[in-house]
Structure 1
Amino acid sequence: MLLPDSLPLSRKQLRSIGRATARINLWHGSVRSGKTIASLLAFVIAVATAGPSGLIIIAGKTIQTIERNVLEPLQDPALFGPLARHVVHTRGASTAIILGRTVHLIGANDAKAEGRLRGLTAQLAYVDEATLVPEGFWTQLLARLSTPGARLYATTNPDSPRHWLKVGYLDRADKLNLRAWHFRLADNPSLSPEYVANLSAEYVGLWRRRMIDGEWVVAEGAIYGMWDEDEHVVSELPEMRRHWAGIDYGTTNPFSAILLGLGVDGRLYACAEYRHDSRATHRQLTDAQYSEAVRKWLADYRPPGAPDNAPKGVTPEWVFIDPSAASFSTQMWSDGHSNPARASNSVGDGIRSVAAMLAAGRLLVHESCKGLLSEMPGYSWDPKATERGEDAPLKVNDHSCDALRYVVHSTAHEWRHLLTAPPAKEAAA
């Protein structure tokens, strides 16, 4: 099982591979820190030396994440050399062949996943992103590792210090048959300084401490601690290259739409806002009325500072809608709106996207977005969720913040390069 010379391994990686002989072996720490390569090598060595009794399992949030994070790297000759030829999998299938052994793939994205383990007897298991699987699934998987010498291999990025994996296992390592290795970004010898700098620019605040420094830290206080009205609020807008929109739907709660523009200066701007608060106006609107209101808002839009005789109207490339508002999305389609789309609703990732752009000075808000400006300073983590080991914002005065999150994160592939690009003036110099 020879590895290519192009895959340098650090002493920490080699040490973890050689010592991964406990019942529970856990690699945790920052993104791209080398923990996944080390854990996969240790797992494959265990597969190669495993006896014939008991199943071999790879578990993750979904089959798709298992394919992306585990099987595709194992099948990459640049990473695993000749070994890659001995990893066979058909996309979407629930089994794979590794070194001639059948390996069962199990998605564990909810509490029902625990039932998929009932009745199994396993000798080896690998868990990708362990903090994302339900605690009940993890507990049941350990119970199924019942053959002599059975082992579990797992990797994860850090989460809340009150997460069940931290409290129940890492903090009790001295009382369990468990070995754990903590990795930081600097522990990966294969990364270039340029890549490390680029990755570091994408994470700020809570996520920087977790994803770059590899710390298990609590989410507390203001979500956008870098928010500064003097820096982030503007009274004028540059010419825009592109527009998108994000909508957070509400009936009794406020309905908010944010128009996002990509300026010629390489920055994102919350250009305008439509907001209807039924409690304040004592008038609830139907889906059809909201659809018409959004249409009129976009048709009447004129950039701030434009002369009165300048043409009105803007057509966003996509309108990203609250994914829970299925009936409103249907109404928008029926009314012929331009490109309604289901917004990405990964809350943590969406907040991180907004935070990264704010911290880089690449996301600014026009002073006309009154609802958004009123919400940003008070947008905070929910302390009760934090006590449960979860990261969740308080569901209070967050509607325009949600609309902004939808449109910013749903277009991340369009603007991510801006995080490391020089400002327009520097680029032109």
Structure 2
Amino acid sequence: MALSDLYTEKQINIYKRTRQEDWFMLLNHGAVRAGKTQLDNDLFLNELIRVKELAAVEGVDEPMYILGGVSSGTIQSNILQELTNKYGIEFKFDKHNNFKLFGVKVIQTFTGTIAGLKSIRGMTAYGAYINEASLANKEVFDEIIKRCSGEGARIICDTNPDHPEHWLKKDYIDNPSKNILSFHFTLKDNTFLSERYKQNIIETTPSGVFTERGIFGLWTIGEGAIYSDFDEDIHVVDEDDVPWKDITKYYSGVDWGYEHWGAIVVVGETDDGTKYLIREHAAQHKDIDYWVERAKEVVAEFGNKIPFYCDSARPEHVDRFVDEGFYAYNANKAVLSGIEMVAKGYKQNKFYVVRQRIERFLDEVYQYVWNSKTGEPVKQHDDVQDAVRYAVYSNAKDSGGWLY
């Protein structure tokens, strides 16, 4: 079987360079579905075989290797399950969630928070594979580099792009050298994808920053309105136009406030994933007792098992909701991923706002804009928007950060 049967031209060129040159770090970055992770997964297996041979020369019977990802879930879905599906590899985990493969002990570390340092401090690694590197905590990323001190150690990284001032881009991607190989991917590089599939991705990806990053793989900031596909003529509907009988679940998002506005929103969703913002409570200079009363109104209207996905910045308020008997959870607050999910709703005409049931939403949505320096949303006019994001993204992800 020829390499061209397995890999795209872009992947083959990178694969050959990794075999012909010595290097310390490989950075594959760019568009989604472009073939980065598929290639890196195979290079990961190659590296384990190479590491075992190098360590044997040094008399090390069981060399260690770091496998990093934002969470256990992302490592499982992006790497391990893909390798199982492709090669039938069955991973047997020890009590620390580590495993052995090709005679190498693979240590999993979760790079999304500083807690990821615990599993790798003090170890000597013969290499590392870091998935979704731009989402890694920088201290954890730096520690992984320090740990890779075994003879001939190499680090493989893949990532989708972030804003242009991101440390991964400035410190590594923009500074390629003999020891750092960096390759940029666009969606068009994946020649195994059908043109129909590519066109579907393009047409369903939100406009602006998400298209620039997701399709063209650019490290860019957003400019102007965050929800550039929002169209009041399309996405704001009357109560009579809502298919109330088709809504099968309700969930709520909560953004605490005092000097800035606080908000509780309720989203209703049909079986086909169409969402409706059907209730909004927004107020300023209100204490927790006020929000408890608003939550009681939500429960009375939508049932006592409706989940409240709450801003974790005020744990005492989340505690109060729990004490009141509400199903309150810490929201999954991933900013860009959450915004992208809401933005896709507008792009695909699957997220609507009920005119008679909102108070502040329209005042915010047109003023909810990108910060041109950080690539994050400006922290103004974002309270209802944050509550909506907490509700939609946490429900979709079944929030992994729950306390209760």
> Per the shorter chain, which TM-score range?
0.7 to 0.9
Alignment of 1:308-347 (within 5 A): 313-315=301-303, 318-324=306-312, 325-337=314-326, 339-347=327-335
Equivalence for 1:25: 26
2:108–2:119: 8 Å Cα contact kept in structure 1? Answer: no
| Matches of 2:98 and 2:78, distance apart in 1 | 15
| Matches of 1:104 and 1:277, distance apart in 2 | 48
Equivalence for 1:423: none
| Matches of 1:116 and 1:297, distance apart in 2 | 43
Alignment of 1:371 with 2:360, yes or no, is yes
| Matches of 2:368 and 2:218, distance apart in 1 | 23
**Which 4+ residue blocks in structure 1 deviate beyond 6 angstroms?**
263-266
1:238–1:263: 8 Å Cα contact kept in structure 2? Answer: no
> Percent identity among equivalent residues?
29
| Matches of 1:107 and 1:413, distance apart in 2 | 18
Q: Alpha-carbon deviation of 1:123?
A: 2.5
| Matches of 2:228 and 2:82, distance apart in 1 | 36
1:350–1:405: 8 Å Cα contact kept in structure 2? Answer: yes
Match of 1:351 among 339, 343, 347: 339
Q: Runs of 5+ in structure 1 lacking a partner?
A: 279-283, 300-312, 415-429
Q: Alpha-carbon deviation of 1:151?
A: 1.6
Alignment of 1:23-422 (within 5 A): 23-50=24-51, 51-52=54-55, 53=58, 55-76=64-85, 79-80=86-87, 84-85=88-89, 88-90=91-93, 93-111=96-114, 113-114=116-117, 117-173=120-176, 175-204=177-206, 205-236=208-239, 237-240=241-244, 241-242=246-247, 243-262=250-269, 267-278=274-285, 284-287=286-289, 289-296=290-297, 299=300, 313-315=301-303, 318-324=306-312, 325-337=314-326, 339-368=327-356, 369-384=358-373, 386=374, 391-412=375-396
Q: Alpha-carbon deviation of 1:355?
A: 0.9
Task: Name the aligned partner's letter for residue 95 of structure 1.
Answer: N
Task: Name the aligned partner's letter for residue 374 of structure 1.
Answer: D
TM-score normalised by structure 2 residue count: 0.82
C-alpha RMSD of matched pairs (Å) = 3.1
Q: Runs of 5+ in structure 2 lacking a partner?
A: 399-404
Q: Alpha-carbon deviation of 1:248?
A: 1.8
Flag the 1:181–1:247 CA change in 2: closer, same or farther, 3 A. Answer: same
Q: Deviation digits for residues 221-266 of structure 1, max 9, x if unmatched?
A: 3211223333332344323222333222224432212232346997
| Matches of 1:162 and 1:322, distance apart in 2 | 30
1:60–1:130: 8 Å Cα contact kept in structure 2? Answer: yes
| Matches of 2:366 and 2:154, distance apart in 1 | 47
Equivalence for 1:422: none
| Matches of 2:192 and 2:170, distance apart in 1 | 32
| Matches of 1:335 and 1:316, distance apart in 2 | 11
User: Could you say what secondary structure the match of 1:370 adopts?
Assistant: coil
Alignment of 1:12 with 2:10, yes or no, is yes
Flag the 1:105–1:260 CA change in 2: closer, same or farther, 3 A. Answer: closer
Which shifted more, 240-249 or 393-402? Answer: 240-249
Q: Deviation digits for residues 74-133 of structure 1, max 9, x if unmatched?
A: 222xx23xxx44x63327634221222222222223346456544433332211111122
1:244–1:317: 8 Å Cα contact kept in structure 2? Answer: no
Q: Alpha-carbon deviation of 1:47?
A: 1.9
Task: Name the aligned partner's letter for residue 78 of structure 2.
Answer: N
